[in-house]
Homo-oligomer: A and B are copies of this chain.
Amino acid sequence: MRIALLGGTGNIGEGLALRWAPRHDVVIGSRSAEKAAEAALYCVERLSQEGFTCELSGEENIQAIAECDVVVLALQYQFAIPTAAAIEGSLNPHAIVVSPVVPMTKDGFLRYIPPAKYSSAALEIQDTLPHNEVVSAFHTTPAARLIDLKDKLGLDVLVCGSEKPKKIVMALVKDIEGLTPFDAGPLEASFMVESITPLLINISARNQMKDSSIRIIGQRIG
């Protein structure tokens, strides 16, 4: 599968690039072609230290999304929406757009603030890209843990979206060893997942923790 990681020059984008490159055709996208190429080179070198020979390219965003099956908007909210608008005319209609985007603000503590017109960043991105399916995922996946290839993870990923594209994204989550996908409902349910990110950052700060995340526990039935 061809996966473009827009914002793949840092944080969660770089982590996903490193974790997916051994199995998928990964392209790192950035507003700067140079920064994208540098990030791709870094990932290739880092993976070769772990014994993987991966092809991984870096391109300016519009070039990066060409022929892509999946595009991840690995960007902060304030950059994610303009980037979604910028790629709108160039995106394959079959490409699935993955949103790990969380709008937040700080007033003493971090607070989730969904865009006024929508109930979540995921729905705003869906409205910005009406010809593509948006799936939300990876909101609670600590970037630092993805980037550390020695880390065995053991993390759960809550995924929201329409049934068909959600299944594809859940399979991509499973392709990363140590990540377990959970179906968290339709895209309209994404606000309940997005709000966990600021909550976790608050909990980290108040309970002397870092890289915190959640795991889903419960009894399997049926």
Contact = CB atoms under 8 A, between A and B. Distances in A.
Interface of A: 108-109, 111-112, 142, 154-155, 158, 182-186, 188-189, 191-193, 195-196, 198-200, 202-204, 206-222
Nearest to A199: B192
A219 B215 contact: no
B219 A210 contact: yes
Nearest to A108: B186
Name the residue among A185, A196, A209, A215 with the largest chain B CB count within 10 angstroms: A185
Contacts of A182: 203, 206-207
Q: Say how many copies of this protein the assembly contains.
A: 2
Contact of A208 (B192, B204, B221): B221
A218 B212 contact: yes
A196 B192 contact: yes
Given A109-B186, A215-B215, 16 more contacts: A111-B189, A182-B203, A182-B206, A185-B199, A185-B206, A189-B199, A192-B195, A192-B196, A192-B198, A192-B199, A208-B221, A209-B220, A212-B217, A213-B216, A214-B214, A214-B216
A203 B220 contact: no
A147 to B, nearest CB: 14
A129 B188 CA distance: 33
B210 A109 contact: no
B222 A218 contact: no
A163 to B, nearest CB: 10
Contact of A195 (B109, B154, B195, B209): B195
Closest 9 CB pairs of A and B: A212-B218, A209-B218, A192-B199, A183-B206, A109-B185, A192-B195, A214-B214, A185-B202, A208-B222
A199 B193 contact: yes
Nearest to A154: B217
Contacts of A203: 158, 182-185, 216, 218
A115 to B, nearest CB: 16
B212 A189 contact: no
Contacts of A111: 188-189, 192
A143 B111 CA distance: 28
